């Protein structure tokens, strides 16, 4: 039992760093253990998200579709983490393949129902449940006001548990909402807070995505290359280059595309 628990911890650290194949290899010899079966499903869902748009992403998606039922069989259909992972996977499928409002409303209702059953202070999945309900209402149902309240709830719950990575996700999307509303200083502050949390969590794919956001905000805010310090532009280029390199090394197609596009927009010679 202790060995399985240790392997799961090590595999999650590898997956957080974007080393999903390494995570799967760590878990390969004990797949019948309930916690290992769940960790394998979680790894596949995470990799399918980050590697979407590429052949490996499609392979991870097939793996997720196969492993979630196995985790459910090992841990039981009422197991909260398995239910949360199933709902997260549904969200990803709706986000990437498109959906009508009915499917999105059903998913939001299922996430809300699960959230009501959780202990906000003691359940590690509580913050994630609120986050994915927020994403569903924001990205799929286009209800930013309700989503904002859920992002705040998710951030508070993650902060209370000391979960830096979980806290970084709602802060990222609160930053996006603030930027869309024209609150540029607030957006920049939230974006950098999210980046700092992701760096502290050693979550390489998430760091790269957040570096892209920070540079996107800086370019969209109307900075004048002739009026700004060259050092500032060099810092932005360094951040964009770092994001692009991470995305290439870890095979994150959508992050790589966004990062390369940003480097082309930055002033030449910095």
Write out the two tokens for 197. Answer: 């949390």
Give residue 265's pLDDT: 84
Number of Cβ within a 10 Å radius of residue 224 = 7
For residue 124, the model assigns a pLDDT of: 67
Q: Locate 96 and state its tokens.
A: 């990437």
Q: What was the pLDDT predicted at 110?
A: 96
Sign of CA dihedral 230, 233, 238, 244: negative
Return the pLDDT at 107. Answer: 97
* CA quadruple 65, 69, 71, 72: dihedral, nearest 10: 140
pTM of the model: 0.89
Q: Which of 205, 214, 204 is nearest to 235 (CA)?
A: 214
Shortest CA distance to 236 belongs to which of 202, 263, 269, 199?
A: 263
Q: Return the pLDDT at 223.
A: 56
pLDDT value at position 225?
Answer: 47
Average pLDDT of each block of 10 consecutive residues along the chain (270 residues)?
84 97 95 96 98 94 97 92 95 89 95 82 75 96 97 95 94 97 93 94 96 91 56 78 90 92 77
3-state secondary structure at position 108:
helix
State the pLDDT at residue 227: 46
Residue 263 is predicted with a pLDDT of 84
State the pLDDT at residue 229: 57
């Amino acid at each position: 039992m202790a060995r399985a628990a240790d392997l799961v911890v090590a595999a999650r650290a590898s997956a957080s760093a974007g080393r999903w194949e390494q995570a799967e290899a760590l878990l390969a010899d004990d797949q019948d253990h309930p916690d290992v079966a769940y960790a394998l499903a979680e790894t596949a869902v995470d990799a399918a998200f980050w590697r979407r748009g590429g052949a490996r992403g499609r392979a991870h998606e097939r793996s997720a579709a196969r492993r979630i039922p196995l985790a459910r069989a090992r841990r039981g259909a009422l197991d909260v983490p398995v239910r949360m992972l199933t709902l997260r996977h549904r969200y990803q499928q709706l986000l990437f393949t498109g959906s009508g409002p009915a499917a999105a409303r059903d998913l939001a209702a299922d996430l809300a129902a699960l959230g009501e059953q959780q202990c906000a202070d003691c359940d590690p999945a509580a913050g994630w449940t609120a986050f994915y309900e927020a994403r569903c209402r924001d990205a799929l149902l286009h209800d930013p006001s309700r989503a904002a309240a859920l992002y705040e709830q998710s951030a508070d719950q993650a902060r209370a548990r000391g979960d830096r990575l979980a806290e970084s996700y709602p802060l990222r999307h609160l930053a996006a909402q603030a930027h869309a509303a024209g609150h540029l200083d607030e957006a920049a502050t939230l974006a950098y807070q999210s980046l700092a949390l992701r760096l502290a969590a050693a979550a390489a794919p998430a760091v790269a995505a957040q570096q892209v956001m920070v540079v996107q905000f800086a370019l969209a805010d109307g900075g004048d290359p002739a009026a700004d310090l060259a050092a500032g532009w060099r810092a932005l280029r360094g951040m964009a280059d770092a994001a692009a390199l991470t995305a290439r090394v870890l095979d994150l197609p959508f992050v790589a595309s966004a990062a390369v596009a940003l480097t082309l927009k930055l002033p030449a010679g910095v």
